[in-house]
């Protein structure tokens, strides 16, 4: 049997490759992906929240004289809001699409 110097063994070294992370592109529709929190294969749940674009559109409408409540219309339209993607399994936010 061969004698090995200290720190060496007869066992072969195990090489562990780092995991490949697939970057998802978040838009206004749900995305199929693997959740980085619970590691489940999911289709994201989407919800809308007021963002910078919503406030800018409301401000422009206000400047053009639509001050009788019409400037609040962008707060009711999902197409003006940011989209938040969450995992349906663990309820964690996995991504966000900012319209601005």
Q: Per the domain annotation, does 10 fall within a domain? A: no
CA 100 to chain centre: 15
Q: Per the domain annotation, does 66 fall within a domain? A: yes
Residues near 96 by beta carbon (within 8 Å), at least 6 away in sequence: 26, 82, 83, 84, 85
Q: Which domain holds residue 44?
A: 32-97
The C-alpha atoms of residue 39 and residue 94 are separated, in whole angstroms, by 11
Q: Per the domain annotation, does 1 fall within a domain? A: no
Q: Per the domain annotation, does 47 fall within a domain? A: yes
Q: Per the domain annotation, does 79 fall within a domain? A: yes
Structural domains of the chain, count: 1
The predicted model scores a pTM of 0.73
Q: Per the domain annotation, does 25 fall within a domain? A: no
The tens digit of pLDDT for each residue in 2-34 reads 566 666 666 666 667 666 555 678 999 999 999
pLDDT band at 84 (very low <50, low <70, confident <90, very high): very high
């Amino acid at each position: 049997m061969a004698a090995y110097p200290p720190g060496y063994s007869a066992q072969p070294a195990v090489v562990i490759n780092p995991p490949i992370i697939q970057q998802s592109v978040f838009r206004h529709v749900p995305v199929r992906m693997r959740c980085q929190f619970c590691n489940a294969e999911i289709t994201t749940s989407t919800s809308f929240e007021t963002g910078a674009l919503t406030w800018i559109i409301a401000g422009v409408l206000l400047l053009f004289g639509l001050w009788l409540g019409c400037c609040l219309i962008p707060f009711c339209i999902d197409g003006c809001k940011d989209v938040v993607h969450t995992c349906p399994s663990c309820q964690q936010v996995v991504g966000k699409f900012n319209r601005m």
